[in-house]
Amino acid sequence: MKRRGVFPFTAIVGQEDMKLSLILNVINPALGGVLIKGEKGTAKSTAVRALAELLPAMEAVKGCRFHCDPVQESFLCDDCTEKFHKDGLSDIETLKMRVVELPVSATEDRVVGTLDVEYAIKKGEKKFEPGLLAQANRNILYVDEINLLDDHVVDVLLDAAAMGVNTVEREGVSYSHPARFVLVGTMNPEEGDIRPQLLDRFALSVTVTGEHDRDNRKEVIKRRLAYEADPEGFIAAYQKEQEELAQKIVAAGKLLPEVTVADDMLDKVAGLAIDLGVDGHRSDITLIKTAMTMAAFQGRKNVETEDLKIAARLALPHRMRRRPFEDGTLDMEKVLAALEG
Amino acid sequence: MSNYNYCYPFAAVVGQKQAKRALKIALVNPKAGGLLISGVTGTAKSVLVRSAAMLAGSRKIINLPLNVTEDMLFGSIDLEYAVSQGERRFESGLLGRADGNILYIDEVNLLRPELLTAVLDINIAGENRVERDGISFAHKTEYTVIGTMDPHEGLLPNHLLDRFGLFVETENLKDKEQRKIIMQRLLDFSRDRIAFIQSYRKETEQLKVQIAKARELLPEVEISEAMMELVVQYCTQAFCAGHRADLYLLETARAIAALAERTYILPKDMEEAAMYVLPHRMRKPPEPESEEEEPAQEEPEEQEENTDLPDDADEAENDQENSLPPPPASQEADNENNTDENNDSNENDKKTPDSDPQINSSQEDKVDGIDMHFPIPKMILDMGRDQVNRKGSGKRSLTKTDLKQGRYVRAEIPKNKVDDLAFDATIRAAAPYQRHREKNNCAINIQQGDLRQRVREKRIGTTFLFVVDASGSMGAQERMRAVKGAIFAMLQEAYQKRDKVGMIAFRRKVAEELLPITRSVDLAQKRLAELPTGGKTPLAEGLAQAFISLDMLKRKEPDAEPVLVLVTDGRANSVVQEGEDPVESAMKLAKQIHKAKITSIVIDTETDFIKLGVAQQIAAAMGANYYKLKQLSQGDILHIVRNIGI
């Protein structure tokens, strides 16, 4: 089957914060994902699916079910760890990072993995059959309508996201494997809340609204029609822009390890966190990592106040609630005052 | 893959002195009863526990995932052995593997309570008895349970709390320099974790040696008569139920002495031990009811007690001040909460426009803030036996579900046709017979009698429809603030239980659906905050609107068992149709609600000197459970009993 083309990422009109937050997560998969909130028909899913085209290639241990990273010895699966200590990991393949979708109706056994029934019946032995979390290792895990996900599946996601490891003690199998993924969720807030704990696991959050600008709205319709009339031609027209962005992402990823943060920048972040009275320390570190990734995206090796401002806009709004469902709003003026002061 | 060698080092964790200390104690002495770490998100709870793996010597940290199935937890038949040998042999589960090790439960408050009870009880008994899959087996096991939880996601019931020896809260550091150090270290760690771990190797090694030495010394730490006296004194003053506290206190003090390389216990060891062992098990003194604690001495919420028994928290706190060294942690928590309080009241002040509290039934609208300190009521739903398989999601009540959703908890021999096959259990059931069965190139031949059905469990939330009197009389004397506080508290409970909520307000001549029934407790809270009061009281309209909403719900979800919560002072004085009697028409509707078997609860807010008692009459007519607002603020438990109709 020929793969149907996807609407190009660069052809999406407006929604700059959403696009930026997705790009930052691709540049820095350790950032911690993004939650995209918005009404129906605001290109949320389109953007996530389009992102697949921009994902960089990565090296992985050949044949590994979890596509382990050969240079990260701390995140190897059991098999790879054994190989690593025996002969080293030399057999390597290049894979493209991809988007793994977790449908809302997914059952827990499919998410975490389960007993390989066929193998058990044929051989009389137990074997672990990996689930979606195995596929998602080092990839993007996309959950559409994440607020409608069953509670017990959310628990599993939280667990894996917190530890970077999926621990399975179910249905006759005891197994654990690396599960480090970029969690991307979309939700329509009108259909219900998302658990604060899950919310907190997202590094960034953005709210998308329909375009209010007349010209932009018209442009959205035009492009959609053009795409539907001739998908291939439309995609071809954006080919160059797509490639440029993909290259920029790769370059930023390479630059990222060299980005440094000056002490006065840390000072600003700590001061801001105290001013805003956020819970815990996850927000500080997320803020600083986002700013670093932003700097890399801009081709800089040092974090500037501008980066912090953008990072604050993306990383803080969903952390402003102090009680489970208190109304939290980010006072941008306060943020700017703290960051510029 | 449970490789804890690459975790963030214990010594590199900034602050969290108490949590670190408690963790060391738990590592030194398993008899101290395990440790529960409570704290808001992002305060290094799990980081600490995982980092402890490097300090535990030969012991391992065994992770108990929330979605564990019973066969894997308790142990079951050895499948491979059964197939090849045709014999039933026991294969250890997590609890067997945990023997002599540390059992770590993240988000322990979300673990199914019956499993948690079993995990804790088996440890106390030191033996795991298994009767399942045709296996009867018992084995010794002893482990140290370490649990972490975020109190926002719900609290543990007292009887489970009690089974943890040690309790500690993680702190949210407010110091700028400390926060900077945390960031810097985390950045260094994520840049090159192996180098980072290496840079703490010396400290890690020292800690490891300290703990190993203390473990060795522990059996030699003696307990003098005087120290036993002290233990008893502490525990009786804290009104601890049972004798578990005494032992935990003693063992904790021993660990503290051993950590200080002493073989005798000092009073200060006991003092420190009390800080970890007593806070979560203090009970209300069984004294005759002393008159109301004056509200001025409003104590900060102590997490482990506030929701269930708010009064206890107050009294236990006071009590503690009199008799025990005040734990520094709760002192700090106090400060925190105090600042919270200030913030909240500021906010509320902002929201409350100037108004004369004397004006009754004013025609002017006003918006009261929410009293954020209203205790969260404990609502117990007695809906009778649940025989119907229900659909829905939430946490209010556990129910068997016929959907192929919900958590697979165990397998059973099917009663009807198998529609949700438990593959693992089926294979286990078939395994022992394989030596005698005809097989077509397979290792296992499954026959009809082997089939097992999955039992799934899903928590079903309840739907709460709040019908709120927003007339002017409710706005008098800050009453609405308390009412909003009460509803807010119930909403919080509803959030934790994943209930659905809806809200109707009635005032002037109309009842208005502020919030259609939704799972978004968020929205409910927003609407509540914005709700103005003013005008007359069309009680009948409110009830009629509620009746319509619930009727619609019934149509959409025939399984739903909603609860109508009417909050009013009962002073009905407005009708839509001229000439009708406001109270009488309300009574009529109340009777209809009773007839329709809608379970309801009336919260009476009448506080005026001359009480008319209309709300109580309405409650009787509705077949409702009746409570006064004051009872709620005192933390009374709300028993909600099903309406069985007239």
pLDDT 10s digits, B610-622: 777 888 898 999 8
Is residue A102, in this structure, part of any structural domain at all? yes
CB atoms A158 and B459 under 8 Å: no
Q: What is the pLDDT of residues B10-35, one digit of tens each?
A: 999 999 999 999 999 999 999 999 99
What CATH number should be reported for the domain holding residue A271?
1.10.8.80
User: Which of B 291-310 lie inside 8 A of A, CB atoms?
Assistant: none
- Specify whether A296 is located in the same domain as A187: no
In whole angstroms, what is the distance from residue B2 CA to residue A249 CA? 33
Band of pLDDT at residue A149, cut at 50, 70 and 90: confident
Contacts of B356 (CB under 8 A, 6+ apart): none
- The more confident residue out of A229 and B110 is A229
Q: Write the single-letter amino acid at B338.
A: N
Our answer to whether residue B244 is catalytic in this structure is: yes
Q: What is the pLDDT of residues B85-100, one digit of tens each?
A: 777 888 889 999 999 9
- Is-contact A33 A204, C-beta < 8 A? yes
Band of pLDDT at residue A136, cut at 50, 70 and 90: very high
CB atoms A169 and B172 under 8 Å: no
- Is-contact B225 B178, C-beta < 8 A? no
Q: How far is A233 from chain B (nearest CA, A)?
A: 43
User: Would you state the pLDDT for residue B534?
Assistant: 84
What tokens does B395 get? Answer: 């946490």
Residue B285 DSSP SS3: coil
pLDDT at A310 over 90: yes
In whole angstroms, what is the distance from residue B51 CA to residue B30 CA? 18
Total count of domains within chain A: 2
- Select the highest-mean-pLDDT range: A67-81, B247-261, B409-423: B247-261
Residue among B542, B452, B514 nearest B132 (CA): B452
- Specify whether A262 is located in the same domain as A336: yes
User: Would you state the pLDDT for residue B513?
Assistant: 84
The strand pairing partners of A264, in sequence order, are none
Domain ranges of chain B: 10-173+185-217, 359-383+461-641, 402-457
Chain B residues with CB under 8 Å of A282 CB are: 41-42
Residue A164 DSSP SS3: coil
pLDDT at B84 over 80: no
Residue A146 burial class via C-beta count within 10 angstroms: exposed 0-12, middle 13-18, buried 19 and up: buried
- Select the highest-mean-pLDDT range: A134-138, B349-353, B536-540: A134-138
What CATH number should be reported for the domain holding residue A26?
3.40.50.300
- The more confident residue out of A226 and B76 is A226
* CATH fold of the domain at B10-173+185-217: Rossmann fold (3.40.50)
Minimum mean pLDDT among A199-203, A318-322, A336-340, B4-8: which range? A318-322
Cβ–Cβ contacts within 10 Å for residue A304, how many? Answer: 14
A77 in B contact zone (CB under 8 Å): yes
In whole angstroms, what is the distance from residue A262 CA to residue B300 CA? 39
Concatenate the DSSP letters of all residues of B99-137 into one string.
TTSEEEETTGGGS-HHHHHHHHHHHHHTEEEEEETTEEE
pLDDT at A257 over 90: yes
How far is CA B307 from each of CA B299, B340, B341, rounded to the nearest angstrom? Answer: 13, 17, 17
* CATH fold of the domain at B359-383+461-641: Rossmann fold (3.40.50)
Q: What is the DSSP letter of B277?
A: H
Chain A residues with CB under 8 Å of B191 CB are: 257
Percent of chain B with pLDDT over 90: 23
Residue B173 DSSP SS3: coil
User: Would you state the pLDDT for residue B37?
Assistant: 95
What tokens does B463 get? Answer: 């739907």
Write down which residue in A208, A238, A265 finishes a domain.
Answer: A208
Band of pLDDT at residue B394, cut at 50, 70 and 90: low
A85 in B contact zone (CB under 8 Å): no
User: Would you state the pLDDT for residue A103?
Assistant: 87
- Specify whether A190 is located in the same domain as A267: no
- Is-contact B584 B621, C-beta < 8 A? no
Residue B601 burial class via C-beta count within 10 angstroms: exposed 0-12, middle 13-18, buried 19 and up: buried
CB atoms B431 and A193 under 8 Å: no
- Specify whether A105 is located in the same domain as A164: yes
- Specify whether A276 is located in the same domain as A157: no
Strand A140-143, strand A99-101: pairing = parallel
Chain A residues with CB under 8 Å of B60 CB are: none
The strand pairing partners of B366, in sequence order, are B533
The strand pairing partners of B467, in sequence order, are B504, B566
Chain B residues with CB under 8 Å of A120 CB are: 79, 423, 427, 443-444
- Specify whether A264 is located in the same domain as A197: no
pLDDT at B485 over 60: yes
User: Which of B 554-613 lie inside 8 A of A, CB atoms?
Assistant: none
Is residue A76, in this structure, part of any structural domain at all? no
pLDDT at B184 over 70: yes
In whole angstroms, what is the distance from residue A228 CA to residue A225 CA? 5
- Specify whether A190 is located in the same domain as A126: yes
Is residue A92, in this structure, part of any structural domain at all? no
- Specify whether A140 is located in the same domain as A45: yes
For chains A and B, count residue pairs whose Cβ atoms are closer than 8 Å.
228
A213 in B contact zone (CB under 8 Å): no
pLDDT at B410 over 70: yes
Concatenate the DSSP letters of all residues of B485-531 into one string.
HHHHHHHHHHHHTT-EEEEEEEETTEEEEEEEEES-HHHHHHHHHH-
Over residues B625-643, mean pLDDT: 78
Over residues B220-246, mean pLDDT: 85
- The more confident residue out of A66 and B380 is A66
Q: Which helix (H) or strand (E) element contains residue B257?
A: helix B244-259
In whole angstroms, what is the distance from residue B26 CA to residue A323 CA? 31
pLDDT at B276 over 70: yes
Minimum mean pLDDT among A51-55, B65-69, B436-440: which range? B436-440
Band of pLDDT at residue B285, cut at 50, 70 and 90: low
Cross-chain CB nearest to A281 (options B73, B107, B182): B182
Distance of CA A246 to the CA centre of its chain: 16
For B171, nearest residue in chain A (alpha carbons): A280
HEC profile of B292-340: CCCHHHCCCCCHHHHCCCHHHHHHHHHHHHHHCCCCHHHHHHHHHHHHH
Write down which residue in A192, A208, A224 finishes a domain.
Answer: A208
Q: What is the pLDDT of residues B544-603, one digit of tens each?
A: 888 888 887 777 666 677 889 999 888 888 776 677 788 888 888 899 888 888 889 998
- Looking at the predicted complex, does its ipTM rise above 0.90? no
pLDDT at B315 over 50: no
pLDDT at A238 over 90: yes
Q: What is the DSSP letter of A302?
A: B
Cross-chain CB nearest to B393 (options A150, A191, A270): A150
HEC profile of chain A: CCCCCCCCHHHCCCCHHHHHHHHHHHHCCCCCCEEEEECCCCCHHHHHHHHHHHCCEEEEECCCCCCCCCCCHHHCCHHHHHHHHHCCCCCEEEEECCEEECCCCCCHHHHHCEECHHHHHHHCCCCEECCHHHHHCCCEEEECCHHHCCHHHHHHHHHHHHHCEEEEEECCEEEEEECCCEEEEEECHHHCCCCHHHHHHCCEEEEECCCCCHHHHHHHHHHHHHHHHCHHHHHHHCHHHHHHHHHHHHHHHHHHHHCECCHHHHHHHHHHHHHHCCCCCHHHHHHHHHHHHHHHHCCCCECCHHHHHHHHHHHCHHHCCCCCCCCCCCCHHHHHHHHHC
pLDDT at B151 over 70: yes
pLDDT at B419 over 60: yes
What tokens does B467 get? Answer: 């019908």
Is residue A137, in this structure, part of any structural domain at all? yes
Q: How far is B433 from chain A (nearest CA, A)?
A: 12
Over residues B63-69, mean pLDDT: 87
Band of pLDDT at residue A283, cut at 50, 70 and 90: confident
Residue among A275, B191, A25 nearest A284 (CA): A275
Q: Which helix (H) or strand (E) element contains residue A37?
A: strand A34-38
pLDDT at A237 over 90: yes
Is residue A123, in this structure, part of any structural domain at all? yes
In whole angstroms, what is the distance from residue B47 CA to residue B150 CA? 14
Over residues B402-424, mean pLDDT: 74
Write down which residue in A174, A208, A242 finishes a domain.
Answer: A208
The strand pairing partners of B489, in sequence order, are none
User: Which of A 303-332 lie inside 8 A of B, CB atoms?
Assistant: 322-327
- Specify whether A42 is located in the same domain as A166: yes
Say whether B359-383+461-641 and B10-173+185-217 share the same fold: yes
Q: Which of B59, B244, B507, B508 is catalytic?
A: B244
For A158, nearest residue in chain B (alpha carbons): B107
Domain range for A181: 9-56+97-208
- Specify whether A190 is located in the same domain as A284: no
In whole angstroms, what is the distance from residue B126 CA to residue A288 CA? 47
Q: What is the DSSP letter of B378?
A: P
Contacts of B399 (CB under 8 A, 6+ apart): B386, B389, B390, B457, B458, B459, B460
Is residue A252, in this structure, part of any structural domain at all? no
- Specify whether A146 is located in the same domain as A280: no
What tokens does B645 get? Answer: 């109709």
- The more confident residue out of A124 and B355 is A124
User: Would you state the pLDDT for residue B167?
Assistant: 94
Minimum mean pLDDT among B25-29, B298-302, B372-376, B578-582: which range? B298-302
Average pLDDT in chain B? 78
B69 in A contact zone (CB under 8 Å): yes
B496 in A contact zone (CB under 8 Å): yes
- Specify whether A159 is located in the same domain as A307: no
Is residue A66, in this structure, part of any structural domain at all? no
Over residues B225-249, mean pLDDT: 85
CB atoms B1 and A176 under 8 Å: yes
